[in-house]
Amino acid sequence: MILASIEAGGTKFIASVGDEQIRIIDTLTVPTTKPEETMKPIIAFFNQYSIDAIGVGSFGPIDVNRNSETYGYITSTPKPFWKDFNFVGSLKTHFDVPIAWTTDVNAAGYAEYILGNAKGTQSCLYLTVGTGIGGGFINQGRMLNAYSHPEMGHLLIRRHPNDMYVGNCPFHKDCLEGMASGPAVEKRWGKKGIKLAERFEVWELEAYYLAQALVSYTLVLRPERIILGGGIMKQKQIFQLIRQQFGQLLNDYVAVLDLERYIQPVGLNDQAGIIGGFLLARKELTD
Ligand X SMILES: Nc1ncnc2c1ncn2[C@@H]1O[C@H](COP(=O)(O)OP(=O)(O)O)[C@@H](O)[C@H]1O
From the list a second copy, Zn ion, ligand X, none, partner contacted by residue 15 (C-beta under 5 to 8 A by kind): none
Query: For the chain, what's the residue count?
Result: 287
Tell me if 212 contacts a second copy by CB under 8 A: yes
How many of the other CB atoms lie within 10 Å of CB of 84?
A: 13
Whether the CB-CB separation of 42 and 277 falls below 8 Å is answered with no
Smallest separation (angstroms) from ligand X to the CB of 231: 2
How many Å apart are CA 159 and CA 161, to the nearest integer? Answer: 6
How many of the other CB atoms lie within 10 Å of CB of 71?
A: 15
From the list a second copy, Zn ion, ligand X, none, partner contacted by residue 146 (C-beta under 5 to 8 A by kind): a second copy
Smallest separation (angstroms) from ligand X to the CB of 225: 20
Stretch that binds ligand X, among 111-119, 191-199, 213-221, 274-282 (CB under 6 A): 191-199
Nearest to 8 by CA among 77, 65, 93: 77
Whether the CB-CB separation of 268 and 275 falls below 8 Å is answered with yes
Smallest separation (angstroms) from a second copy to the CB of 29: 30
User: How many chain residues interact with a second copy (CB under 8 A)?
Assistant: 43
Select from 215, 241, 263, 275 the one that contacts a second copy (CB under 8 A): 215
Tell me if 79 contacts ligand X by CB under 6 A: no
**φ, ψ for residue 201 (rounded to 5)?**
-65, -25
Window 157-176: residues binding Zn ion (CB under 5 A) = 169, 171-172, 175
What CA–CA distances, in Å, run from 112 to 81, 109, 212, 247?
A: 31, 5, 23, 23
Dihedral angle computed from the Cα positions of residues 94, 96, 102 and 107, in that order, rounded to the nearest 10 degrees: -90
The 3-state DSSP class for residue 18 equals strand
Tell me if 122 contacts a second copy by CB under 8 A: yes
Window 129-158: residues binding a second copy (CB under 8 A) = 135, 137, 139-140, 144-158
From the list Zn ion, ligand X, a second copy, none, partner contacted by residue 222 (C-beta under 5 to 8 A by kind): a second copy
Q: Which is nearer to Zn ion, 178 or 277 (CB)?
A: 178
Handedness of CA 107, 113, 117, 122 (dihedral sign): positive
Cis check: omega of the bond before 61, within 30 degrees of 0: yes
Window 80-139: residues binding ligand X (CB under 6 A) = 130-132
Smallest separation (angstroms) from a second copy to the CB of 140: 8
Tell me if 97 contacts a second copy by CB under 8 A: no
From the list ligand X, a second copy, Zn ion, none, partner contacted by residue 61 (C-beta under 5 to 8 A by kind): a second copy
CA atoms within 13 A on the CB side of 48: 12
Stretch that binds a second copy, among 12-20, 81-89, 187-195, 253-261 (CB under 8 A): 253-261
Under the phi-then-psi rule, with left for phi > 0, alpha for psi from -120 to 50, and beta for the rest, what region is 84?
left
Residue numbers at the binding site for Zn ion (CB under 5 A)? 154, 169, 171-172, 175, 177
Residue numbers at the binding site for ligand X (CB under 6 A)? 9, 130-132, 182-183, 186, 192-194, 230-232, 234-235
